[in-house]
Structure formats: C-alpha cells, structure tokens
Structure 1
C-alpha cells in the first residue's frame, strides 16, 4: 500500500486522527480566508473527489464553455492526478495542495458531484455550493448506516446551496442523511442523464461503430457495484463475481457482446481479458455511451438502475449475494421486488436470451415512474440556476416530467 493511501485510511477511519485533522485543518483554512481575495468570476469543478473528469460536473462545464454568459469566467478543475487529464494547465489544479485550498477559498462557486471541502469545513458565505451528486441511493448511506469508525460523518457539515435529485424518493433520503433543508433540494434530474433520452439513432450507431460493436449483435452492459466488506491486501475494495465467462461466451457469443463495467472502486481488482465477446470497459470515460449502445442492463445493487430506467430498456438484477449484502451494507428496499432478478448465472442467461423480454421492459417502465420523475432538462435548468446566482440573465423553461 502506498504511503499516501495508508495516511488516507488512517485519517478516515481513526476518530482521533480525523478529529485532529478536522479541527486543525478547518481552523487554518478559516484563518487563511482572511488573506484570500474572492474572485467573483472563478468557478471550481470536481468529480468524485478529484479522481475523474466526467459525470454531471463535466456536462455543466462543457455547456458553460459555450455559454456567452460565462465567457469571461475562469473555470478550474481539481484533480488528484492532474497530469493524467487532458486539459490545459491553466484549467486544472492538484487536490490537497495550498493552491487547491486557495482556489477553493477564492471561488464564487463550487460545482461537484461529491465534495470540495476534503472532510473539512471552510465554505465562505459568498461561495455558491452546487452539488449534482452521483446517483440515487439503493444502498443505505450517511446517518442511515452504522459503520465503525466512519469519522467523516461526525464532523464535516454539508453546506450545499443546491443539491440535485431526480425523484422524491431520494429527496427524502438526502434531506435526512445529509441534513439538507428541503428548499435547497432541486427536483430537476441529473445533467449527465439528459443525453439518455435526447440521443438519436444516428448517434447510437456512431457510438457502436466507435466502440467496434459488430452490426446486428445485441449488447449487454454488466455494471456491478463494489462490496465494502471485500478488500484486497492494500485495503482497496474488490469484487468476486460467480460467473464463468467461457460459459457466457458459449451461450451468448454468436449474438451478443458483453460490456463489463465495474465500479471505480474495484476496477483495478478485476481480471477481464478482452476478446470477441467480452470487453473490459471500466476505464472508458463516458458511462452514458455504454448505456446508450446497450440493449439491456445487468447489475446488482448499483444506482445505475435508476439512471438506466429512463431509456425503458430491459434491466436484470444478478443478486447472487443479496442476503449478505443486505445484512452487511443495508438496503432501502429489495430491488428484486421491482427488477427481473435471479441469484445464479444459469437462470440469468436464460433471461437474457428470451429475445424481446416485455416483462423485464415493463418492470423497467414501472420502476422509472416510481423513482425517477424529473429528467431531460437538468443541464439547462442547472446552468440557469447557477447563472441566476452569478447575477446573469436567465430564462428558465418549464420542467420536463
């Protein structure tokens, strides 16, 4: 394990160490704030704590670059490894550096899908904190779970000015677990998902060609989540799926392509070798592309079910370890009650090869109507909310439900 990762683990899971980190770090940054001049035309972006250049923050960033209202704004991204991101040097900074904290203190707005404050508390009154979040929770989270020594939840406060959701179900959860006032929760959907209902057949065909998917083959997207209780020697989450890819290829190889997309926490632990049937896509930057080219989804307890449901395609739950997962991690509801589900790969492959599975598709439709009620205009609505806060001219269209 690297020294940096070991220190991160100690800070996160040792209550005493984290408490010292929080108190000292917060105090230093609040004092530093008096020496930093605010910049009303600086916006700081971050995705998944600086690990990614994607998701809803990137969608908003790309539209802002084209929006004349933000023509003279400085749009800066924070990354844990900025050298790995293809972005001009004047548009990116490194997380956990003095420059990062100074930039955060100067910025008029923070746009993220996770957090900017790095477990501390230093947001200024004039800083507009816009959180898109990164998925609808199926697994219990925040104050709803009890994990030994999860020290962050005992100190860091959530000072969001806007928090996006795509349904009342998650609005209730986030309001409770993050102690967010309901008026700050905006039911407009997630910007990253707009493309899922806006794409054309031409765009889908172009993506299939780009990804090298043979004409006529159906595409299965398999996107499992991680298990916190399964870790490698380096304390990274891992995933052990009871699936025989040779058996899958034998059953499906003639007519299907399998796109394997693991959760970012476990992608490194997977050992998938690409061939003419399976493609390892965990490092592919745009998950939405994979959702668009696929004909069906297989997952387990991932929030991807909520996002995928707006496309009204068949969805399947491969719940091979449901009892253990529900016991150790906690679930808000039994996903098997809503999605076509099984606990073994033989039955799963039988489901996948049904052809037009109208039952699975109808379940997907019902699931969407229950849990995802706002979608399609989140990007435009978000930009207008931000523009209004910046004092720029806005024209907000009616919400699409």
Structure 2
C-alpha cells in the first residue's frame, strides 16, 4: 500500500522546479509515490525528466486546481503538497513516514489524526535554509495527538501546505471547503481550515520543507481584489469555526492573526490610498463582526492600533503611524549624525532634469559597457530607424570608442552634462548589460534589457555559490538595477527560465529572439563575399572561426590551442580567424607572431562579430555563448573542451554541454586536429547534434526578432499582432561561403 503521495504542484517558477523534484525524487522510499501537477509546457518538460507521474495542466491553471488534480490521481493514504518553487530537506520524507507510522499505531477510540503539522525552513536568494521558526510551538505539543481546542497556538504555525500532510480521505471529504478562498489566499486558508476541520492533529518538530521566498519585486503586483480577498479568507475561516462550534480559544487566536496581519499590511505594504482605505474599512468590519466574547485588546501601541481599527478610524491611524515614523526618523538622525551638507553639481542638475517631462521621442542605447553600436541594442536601433523614425536614438559611448562610431551617430560620453540630461529625459533606455546604479527609473520610462547571449555559465544570483566568478559582485545593487527592467529579451525558452531564476523581478519576458541574430537569415551571397574580401579570405579557402570565452581564473588571455601547429597541420587551404574575448581587449595579443603567415587572422578587434560568423565555414569555441548564435547558420560547430571539468566547477553551468553539444566535442588538440583534417567536422553526427541544439536554443531566432521587439516596446503593439515565430525547420539561413561563390 502507498503510504504517502508527494504532490509537487505549480509552474516552473524562475526555473526552480528541477531542484524541487531533485530534492524529492532522490529520497523517496518504496512506499511513497511522486506526482507532479505540472502547470504549463515548461513545467511538464521538466517533470518528464524526473520520473513519477506527471499530471499535465494548462498554463492558466491555478495552484488550487493543480493541487486538486494531483490529489485526484494520488493513491497514497496521506497527501503532502509541495510547491514547485520549494525543496524538501534531506531526511524529511523518512522522518515524516516514521511519524505517520506512529500516528497509525496510536489510532484508537479518540479518533484518527487527520493532519500532521511540521516545521519548515526558509531560503531566499541570499540565504539558504534559515532555522525553523515553529519548532517551539511544535515541541510543546510533543508526540501527543490532540484537538485544536487543546493546542490553539497551532494556528500560529506558518500557514503553508508544505509543512503539513493530510489524510487523503479527510482531504477528499472536505475538499470543497478547503478550496473556498480566493487564489491569492488559498494556501493560507486551506492550511488553517485543515486544522479547524480536523478531528485530531499530530506534530513533528523536524522541518519537512524548505520554502523558497521569492523576491517581491519578481512577482506580479498584488491587486486590490487580492488585498480584500485576504480579509474575506479570514472571515470564511471564522464562519467554518462557527459552523463546527470551535471553542473560543482557537477563535481568539485566529482573530489575533487576522487583526495583526491586516494592520501589518496597512502599515508596510504600498497601496494606493483608496485601496488602503477600503482594505482598512473591510478589516475594521471583520474585526468588529468576529471579535470573540470576552476578548481584550493588547496593551501599549498595539492596543491603540487595534482600537483605531475597530473604530474604522483610517485617517487617525495614518496620523498615528506618521507620528511614530517621525519619532523613529529623529532617533535615527541623532544616531547617524548630521547628514553631509550639499550634493555634487552633477546630481543637482540630474535631479532638476528628472523633474522635466519624459520625452516620448527619445531613446538611449548602450552596449557592452559603452563600447559602441553593437549587439542586440545595435540591431534594435537599426530596426527602430526603419519602423519608428520619429524616435531619436542617442548612444552612450566611452571616450575611447568615439572614433569608431559610424559617421553621424548622435552620442554622449558618460559623466558629461548631456549624458545625464538624456538619461533623465529619455522614455526608452536600452542596454545589453545594465545602466549605472545612479540612473533613476522614472515613471513613464521604459527600460529594455536585451542581454548579450544565451547562458551556459551561471549568471546573476546564480553566481553566489561560485566565489571565483562572483568576486566583487554586489548582489543587492544588481537586484536594484534589475528591478528597473520593464522588458527582458530572450532567444529561447531556456534563457527565459534562467533569466527568471538569475534575475528575479517583475519585468516582462519578450520571447522574440535576439535582434542581432536577424542577419543570419537576411544576409545574402553578396554580403558574405564582401566580408570575406575585407578579411582577405580567397574564394574556396576554408575559414574557421576560433572564439573562446573568458575564464574567471585567468588574468589574461592565452590561447588554449597551439595555433601555429594547428594552422600548419590544416595547410594552406584553411585560415583561422582568431577572436579573443572582449574582456582581454587591453591585453597584448599573443597572435602577433602568427599574423605574417597568412594562416591566422587576428579578428579580436573586428566588429561586428556576426560578420565573422557569416564569413566562416565552421566555428571552434569552448563555452562561449557565440555557439548559440552561430547555430542559427546551421554550420558545423566544434566544442574544444579541454578544461570542461574545471570550468564547470569554477564558473558553474546550467547544463552539461558535453551531453548536449552543438556538434563534435574535442577534449585535446589531437582530437581537434583529427576532426579538421578529415570530413568528420561536417559529418552526419555533427549535423544531428546541431539539429537538436538548434531546436532547443534557436527557438525564437527567425530573422524577425528586431521587428517584434520594436513593435512591442516602441510602438506598443499587442503580442498577437506581432509576426509569428517561424518554426526552425521552415527557416532558410544565410548561404554558406561555398554556396556564396556559386
């Protein structure tokens, strides 16, 4: 008999479902089962790779619906609901099953235990597994099983479904009541209603779930209806208590919880005044309606707040709150000393311009920390000039990069007076990295984050566990910058999920493709011949682009290949286009001695890199994101991965490239030479791996990405009006160099 059904439910929130399922599946004993009530195709794909029973649900299914669907398919005597973003600590399933066995053995005339309540821990983006907060309350109950009247303080245990298991028969008997609340309050309601409806309750002091607390800034804003729904959920709980004749002590505890949470929301949550006033009014009515007989308000400031709530005195409450804030601010000012007098002239000027109206016809672009017109911002700006010429672009460019700008490019240099003026006034700010911390996100301004690659290596918050990669990173400042994003451009579903995980905030993901990759579908034979002419590559000569990535554990760039030996072995018919990572732009080139041979061309300073890709017959890279872009051309890619294990452990990666490469993998120079001196570099094995790679990582790149981005962001067109993404198998990439000579 199946004792326990673990029901993991929900969407793949910020890419956390995989970790959740790993934590469950790795430690389930034989008398348990795993079901995943997977909401949306992304969650279903992840769940299918982890085993167990997958219950597929549409993208718009609620968490409540997912729990119900999972419970309907479950065969266990007990049900344990674990949200898809959370994890199960090591040893938790075994401890839970042991406790359930004790409960079963102790069952007698007093009635069956319907709910087992346990402790939990909490993790955030900056901390993991914070100490359990309910252990004390649970310890006071011990191993007894009792009624809610015996231990009303159990209502104060965090109202989660992950920190309790329910008897399946009990869940099905009361499911309609447990699912009554609005979705935003459904888990709180169900968790507490289960205690109210249970005949008997048992406790477990051990934490059985690690709750992942998502950044508020990464979640949709709370609506007015959801605020009001919280009060309604508490009132529904009170009605259930009245119907089942719950004694006064549990009702008093629930009343305290309702009043305290209501006051905390009014005090700490940002709401429009009209919403806050209405919420206060509804909370006041509930406080009066459900005040238990004989109830006495707390003493002190909390008692004053409760009195104002019961009197529905919203204006007086705000005045009382303001007076308290002023007293705290005064004490803080005394402790911290006098503030520094005055501000820099730059800041004064910037603040003044920020008070001027936003200019709807002004857009500011930057790429690669102000290196010039490039990448996704560059391709977006070009399409903007075509589709929305009324919007004027201004580029942020460093002093050193000014001479390299295309003639006539309107630009500003960082730190200048006009630089701060355009940043303050522009409606649109576009970057493939981030603007400085000092840039203010104005109401009405739109920040478009285009990114500059598909992530193989860990990014953003995911770098925290890799000190070599995250040295010097200020994650709080990073999140402050991320919170300014309105849109995040993505080339594939993998990127969308990883960005949500690495940069949790409230932006909208634009699954439109990378604008810089449009050229891989629009370039013609003449374009390819022209690039090769500029590079000095004769017709019919094989050109191989070698583009390795940066390594955090290397201070300067040293090619990992003996380029002289490789070029000699490949002969006169092959030229190597060698591009060092831009992080090493100031380093002395190790290629100087090879340039005279004509077999090696140093293209480290050549822009744009897309032209190098078009000019080449194949790509050699290690772990650079160029592989994802180059795959659009449907040309051979070789992964030279001599230090994969070191790189993966030091930098952190999102998937095993060795298991899912874009083509052949060479782990040594000998293997690489063998591939390139035979036809293996472009054989059927390479083509098959590349086809799989393209389907996964070129998902939205079809030549129309820039158009979709411009129409959506700058012209305000709805998603359904944008050009649909062309399926990978229906696309025609730019011709190969060989085809371009015909």
| Corresponding residue of 1:285 | 607
Alpha carbons 2:354, 2:424 under 8 Å: kept: no
Alpha carbons 2:510, 2:709 under 8 Å: kept: no
Alpha carbons 2:423, 2:439 under 8 Å: kept: no
User: Structure 1 258/90 Cα, relative in aligned 2: closer, same or farther at 3 Å?
Assistant: closer
Counterparts of 2:471 and 2:562, CA distance in 1: 37
Aligned counterpart for 1:112 among listed residues 431, 437, 440: 431
| Corresponding residue of 1:17 | none
Deviation at 1:314, TM superposition (A): 1.1
- The 3-state SS of whatever aligns with 2:665 is strand
| Corresponding residue of 2:449 | 131
Aligned counterpart for 2:383 among listed residues 63, 68, 77: 63
Counterparts of 1:382 and 1:31, CA distance in 2: 30
- The 3-state SS of whatever aligns with 1:327 is helix
1:247 aligns with 2:555: no
- The 3-state SS of whatever aligns with 1:285 is coil
1:187 aligns with 2:478: no
Alpha carbons 1:190, 1:379 under 8 Å: kept: yes
Query: Structure 1 residues 76-85 or 26-35, which shifts more?
Result: 26-35
User: Structure 1 96/324 Cα, relative in aligned 2: closer, same or farther at 3 Å?
Assistant: farther
Query: Structure 1 residues 242-251 or 186-195, which shifts more?
Result: 242-251
User: Structure 1 88/32 Cα, relative in aligned 2: closer, same or farther at 3 Å?
Assistant: farther
Query: Structure 1 residues 203-212 or 40-49, which shifts more?
Result: 203-212
Deviation at 1:155, TM superposition (A): 2.0
1:190-233 superposed Cα distances (whole Å, 9 cap, x missing partner): 000011122223322222222211111111100001111211xx
User: Structure 1 267/86 Cα, relative in aligned 2: closer, same or farther at 3 Å?
Assistant: closer
Indicate the RMSD between aligned Cα atoms, in angstroms: 2.5
1:281-333 superposed Cα distances (whole Å, 9 cap, x missing partner): 01111111111111111101111111111111111111122122112111112
- The 3-state SS of whatever aligns with 1:135 is coil
1:260 aligns with 2:578: yes
Alpha carbons 1:36, 1:102 under 8 Å: kept: no
Alpha carbons 1:110, 1:129 under 8 Å: kept: yes
User: Structure 1 281/359 Cα, relative in aligned 2: closer, same or farther at 3 Å?
Assistant: same
Counterparts of 2:426 and 2:446, CA distance in 1: 9
Structure with the largest fraction of helix: 2
- Higher relative contact order at CA 8 Å, sep ≥6: structure 1 or structure 2? 1
- The 3-state SS of whatever aligns with 2:707 is helix
Query: Structure 1 residues 166-175 or 240-249, which shifts more?
Result: 240-249
1:167 aligns with 2:492: yes
| Corresponding residue of 2:421 | 102
Query: Structure 1 residues 121-130 or 93-102, which shifts more?
Result: 93-102
Alpha carbons 2:513, 2:701 under 8 Å: kept: yes
| Corresponding residue of 1:92 | 411
| Corresponding residue of 2:732 | none
For the pair shown, which has the larger CA radius of gyration, 1 or 2? Answer: 2
| Corresponding residue of 1:197 | 521
Alpha carbons 2:366, 2:395 under 8 Å: kept: yes
User: Structure 1 155/287 Cα, relative in aligned 2: closer, same or farther at 3 Å?
Assistant: same
Deviation at 1:395, TM superposition (A): 5.9
1:206 aligns with 2:530: yes
Alpha carbons 2:489, 2:512 under 8 Å: kept: yes
User: Structure 1 36/337 Cα, relative in aligned 2: closer, same or farther at 3 Å?
Assistant: same
Aligned counterpart for 1:369 among listed residues 692, 695, 719: 695
Deviation at 1:113, TM superposition (A): 1.2
User: Structure 1 272/59 Cα, relative in aligned 2: closer, same or farther at 3 Å?
Assistant: same
Query: Structure 1 residues 205-214 or 289-298, which shifts more?
Result: 205-214
Query: Structure 1 residues 165-174 or 85-94, which shifts more?
Result: 85-94
| Corresponding residue of 2:645 | 323
After TM superposition, the score normalised by the length of structure 1 is: 0.84
User: Structure 1 28/320 Cα, relative in aligned 2: closer, same or farther at 3 Å?
Assistant: farther
Alpha carbons 1:29, 1:122 under 8 Å: kept: no
Alpha carbons 1:43, 1:76 under 8 Å: kept: yes
Alpha carbons 1:222, 1:298 under 8 Å: kept: yes
User: Structure 1 33/170 Cα, relative in aligned 2: closer, same or farther at 3 Å?
Assistant: same
Deviation at 1:145, TM superposition (A): 1.2
1:349 aligns with 2:663: no
Alpha carbons 2:450, 2:489 under 8 Å: kept: yes
After TM superposition, the score normalised by the length of structure 2 is: 0.47
Counterparts of 2:453 and 2:534, CA distance in 1: 27
Number of residue equivalences: 366
